[in-house]
Chain A
Amino acid sequence: MRDYEKYIRYRTFPSPWCPGCGIGIILKAIAMSFTALKIAPDDIVVVSGIGCSGRMPTFFNTNTLHVTHGRALTFATGIKLARPEKTVVVISGDGDAMAIGGNHLIHSARRNIGIKMILVNNGIYGMTGGQCSPLTPQKFITETTPYGNIEPKFMASELLIAARASFVARETVNRPRPLREVIKKSFEHKGFSVVEVISNCHINLGRKNKMKDPITMCKWIAGRTVTRAQYDKLAPGDRNHKYPVGILQEDNERLEYTELYNKYIIPSAQEAARKNGGAK
Chain B
Amino acid sequence: MSKRKVLQGNIIAAKAALAAGCNFFAGYPITPSSEIAQFMSRELPKLGYDFIQMEDEIASLGACIGASLAGSKVMTATSGPGFSLMQEHLGMGVMAEIPLVIVNVMRGGPSTGLPTKPSQADMMQTRWGTHGDHPIIALYPAFADEIYTETIRAFNLSEKFWTPVVLMMDEVQAKAHEDIEIPEAKDISVYESEVNVPVDLNIYDREIGEKPPRVDFFKGYPIHVDSLEHDAHGWPTIEPNTVHKMQTLRMQKIYHYLDEIIEYKEYEMDDAEVMIFSFGVSARASIPAIQMLREEGLKVGLFQALTIWPFPKRELQERFKRIKKVLTVEMNMGQMKYEVERVAPDDVDDRALLRANGIPLTPQEIYNAVKEFYK
| Residues of chain A within 8 A of B219, CB atoms compared | 42
Please measure, in the bound complex, the distance between the C-alpha atom of A266 and the C-alpha atom of B220, giving whole angstroms.
Answer: 29
Given contacts A68-B89, A77-B66, 16 further A-B contacts (CB under 8 A): A42-B220, A42-B221, A45-B218, A62-B222, A66-B227, A73-B59, A74-B60, A78-B68, A78-B74, A79-B70, A83-B70, A86-B218, A107-B54, A269-B44, A272-B46, A280-B15
- A82, chain B: closest CB distance, angstroms: 4
> Is A66's CB under 8 angstroms from B24's CB?
no
**With A66-B224, A86-B218 given, is the CB distance from A78 to B56 under 8 Å?**
no
Chain B interface bracket (under 10, 10 to 19, 20 to 34, 35 or more): 35 or more
Please measure, in the bound complex, the distance between the C-alpha atom of A42 and the C-alpha atom of B59, giving whole angstroms.
Answer: 25
How many residues in A have their beta carbons less than 8 Å from beta carbons of B? Answer: 44
Please measure, in the bound complex, the distance between the C-alpha atom of A86 and the C-alpha atom of B58, giving whole angstroms.
Answer: 24
| Residues of chain A within 8 A of B58, CB atoms compared | 71, 74
Contact partner, A78, options B65, B221, B226, Cβ 8 Å: B65
B45 at the interface (CB under 8 A from A): yes
- B66, chain A: closest CB distance, angstroms: 3
| Residues of chain B within 8 A of A280, CB atoms compared | 15, 43
| Residues of chain A within 8 A of B217, CB atoms compared | 45, 63, 65, 79, 83, 86
| Residues of chain A within 8 A of B224, CB atoms compared | 9, 12, 57-58, 63-66
Please measure, in the bound complex, the distance between the C-alpha atom of A279 and the C-alpha atom of B222, giving whole angstroms.
Answer: 36
Of the listed residues B56, B68, B70, B72, the one surrounded by the most CB atoms of chain A closer than 10 A to its CB is B70
B67 at the interface (CB under 8 A from A): yes
> Is A67's CB under 8 angstroms from B218's CB?
no
A270 at the interface (CB under 8 A from B): yes
> Is B50's CB under 8 angstroms from A82's CB?
yes
| Residues of chain A within 8 A of B59, CB atoms compared | 71, 73-74, 77, 103-104, 107
> Is B69's CB under 8 angstroms from A107's CB?
no
* A-B residue pairs, 7 tightest by C-beta: A78-B66, A74-B62, A269-B45, A78-B63, A75-B66, A78-B67, A82-B70
> Is B89's CB under 8 angstroms from A82's CB?
no
> Is A107's CB under 8 angstroms from B55's CB?
yes
A10 at the interface (CB under 8 A from B): no
Please measure, in the bound complex, the distance between the C-alpha atom of A208 and the C-alpha atom of B45, giving whole angstroms.
Answer: 54
Instruction: Kindly identify, within residues 214 to 246 of chain A, every residue whose CB is under 8 Å from any CB belonging to chain B.
Output: none
Instruction: Kindly identify, within residues 14 to 66 of chain A, every residue whose CB is under 8 Å from any CB belonging to chain B.
Output: 41-45, 47, 57-58, 61-66
7 contacts between A and B (CB under 8 A): A66-B227, A67-B65, A71-B62, A74-B63, A75-B66, A78-B64, A104-B62
Contact partner, A268, options B45, B67, B222, Cβ 8 Å: B45
- B137, chain A: closest CB distance, angstroms: 21
Instruction: Kindly identify, within residues 30 to 66 of chain B, every residue whose CB is under 8 Å from any CB belonging to chain A.
Output: 42-48, 50, 52, 54-56, 58-66
- A267, chain B: closest CB distance, angstroms: 9
B223 at the interface (CB under 8 A from A): yes
Q: Which residue of A lies closest to B47 (CB)?
A: A279
| Residues of chain B within 8 A of A67, CB atoms compared | 62, 65, 92, 227
**With A41-B222, A82-B50, A279-B46 given, is the CB distance from A71 to B89 under 8 Å?**
yes
Please measure, in the bound complex, the distance between the C-alpha atom of A69 and the C-alpha atom of B63, giving whole angstroms.
Answer: 14
Q: Which residue of A lies closest to B225 (CB)?
A: A65
B198 at the interface (CB under 8 A from A): no
Contact partner, B222, options A42, A77, A79, Cβ 8 Å: A42
Q: Which residue of A lies closest to B201 (CB)?
A: A11
B21 at the interface (CB under 8 A from A): no
Q: Which residue of B lies closest to A49 (CB)?
A: B227
Please measure, in the bound complex, the distance between the C-alpha atom of A216 and the C-alpha atom of B43, giving whole angstroms.
Answer: 59
> Is A58's CB under 8 angstroms from B70's CB?
no
A159 at the interface (CB under 8 A from B): no
> Is B46's CB under 8 angstroms from A269's CB?
yes
Bits for A73-117, please: 1 = Cβ < 8 Å to B, else 0: 111111111110010000000000000000110010000000000
